[in-house]
Amino acid sequence: MTPLRPSAPNIIAPRDDARDFLLTERDFDRIRALIHRRAGISLGSHKREMVYSRLARRLRALRLNDFATYLAVLEADESCDEWEYFTNALTTNLTSFFREAHHFPLLAEHAKKIGRPYSVWCAAASTGEEPYSIAITLAEALGDRASTVLATDIDTQVLAKARAGVYTAEQVSRLSQDRLKRFFLKGTGQRAGLVKVKPELASTISFEPLNLLAPDWGIRERFDAIFCRNVMIYFDKPTQGRILERFVPLLKPHGLLFAGHSENFSYVTRAFQLRGQTVYELSPPGARTGAP
């Protein structure tokens, strides 16, 4: 084990003896710069413990002795496979079914007004609870197979979980019995206590990796709604502004943009105007440019 030197000024003091590695201020700054450049994520200094524990696991798996060697691997090759693990390790994936529940009746109402086929892009899908909540809402509003959901996330590990569509009873405990019966299969035997999304619902969603910072998203369709919730909070204001402007040509003229509870886009761009609680619509074409 590397000897710990908590008294050295540039060393982040370890909290316990179980620590295997030293995370220097310089290492931490390099990590912050790398994840910001790659994913837009701004990590505050209070995230040190989280960064240490998530990346230390990776160092152990790779049998590396220190963070500096690990970071040199990333810095040496922008396209090496390790970037995927690094990015997956540093994302925050908290989500739940029908989170920010007030959005879903609005989505249902909008879908009924627009009619089928109705399409949604869920741009930070995490482990799938959000795109499945969208698909359930649309199936209830429009009937089966009347809608499509594109569900994307930068984190390939959470996307794999989303694609599998398997959840614990606790994770679906707030769904009504009707929804559970209509949209989920109950696990038996070794899978008792788990549920799996039914194939009919799952088939309306496609899961794809996508970095919101990437110069080309490769999306060629336009959507009736975009859900981009609880991801912009990790980005700085200029990054938020650039992403929001890139949403404009991807929304149909009547389209809606759903944001997270602490995300206020009115201060970021004039491209969108508030229509309801954290729900936006496109501003009239003549009013979309200029500082907000």
Ligand X SMILES: C[S@@+](CC[C@H](N)C(=O)[O-])C[C@H]1O[C@@H](n2cnc3c(N)ncnc32)[C@H](O)[C@@H]1O
Catalytic residues: 54, 153
Q: Quick one: residue 182, left, alpha or beta (phi over 0 = left, psi -120 to 50 = alpha)?
A: alpha
- Cβ(278)–Cβ(263) below 8 Å: yes
Instruction: Tell me which H or E stretch contains 186.
Output: strand 184-186
Is there binding between residue 126 and ligand X (CB under 6 A)?
yes
Could you say which of 67, 104, 130, 135 contacts ligand X (CB under 6 A)? 130
Size of the site for ligand X (CB under 6 A): 25
- Cβ(262)–Cβ(252) below 8 Å: no
Residue 29: CB partners within 8 Å, gap ≥ 6? none
From 63-71, 92-100, 166-174, 183-191, span contacting ligand X (CB under 6 A): 92-100
Could you say which of 211, 245, 248, 250 contacts ligand X (CB under 6 A)? 211
Could you say which of 43, 71, 111, 124 contacts ligand X (CB under 6 A)? 124
Is there binding between residue 212 and ligand X (CB under 6 A)?
yes
Between residues 19 and 32, which has the closer beta carbon with respect to ligand X?
32
46 exposure class (CB count in 10 Å sphere: 0-12, 13-18, 19+) = exposed
Could you say which of 93, 171, 273, 283 contacts ligand X (CB under 6 A)? 93
Is there binding between residue 136 and ligand X (CB under 6 A)?
no
**What are the backbone angles phi and psi of residue 173, rounded to the nearest 5°?**
-65, -20
Contacting positions for ligand X (CB under 6 A): 39-41, 91-95, 99, 124, 126, 130, 153-155, 158, 210-213, 229-231, 234, 260
